[in-house]
Amino acid sequence: MGRPRSEAVATLLRYVHARMKSHPRLWSTYHALVIEPRRRKSVEVLRRGRRTGEIRTDLDLDLMHDLFVGPMLVRTVVRPEGELPEELAAQIVDVVLAGLRPAQ
């Protein structure tokens, strides 16, 4: 039985983070192939949420994206001892969306 997927992803992120400065081409390639396509998709989902009225229109889309991704990066890079339970992503989305929704 292998490691849980979240642990494998965290290990990869720590490795890439450690190599960013010493191997700028590795970082550039990883950014172009992994980070930027995911970021574009996430921002488009947020943009759609704005159009449907699910998300406030007065907030910066890039900042909103970072609010979702930031906690996962903290757990993988800054606090590698922190747990990455499978439900963490859903918890982050629920908490962040509560603050991004328009006032009722």
Digit-coded pLDDT (tens) for 69-81: 999 888 877 787 7
Amino acid 102 reads: P
* Three-class HEC string of 39-88: HHHHHHHHHHHHHCCCCCCCCCHHHHHHHHHHHHHHHHHHCCCCCCCCCH
Digit-coded pLDDT (tens) for 25-73: 888 898 899 889 999 999 999 999 999 999 999 999 999 999 999 998 8
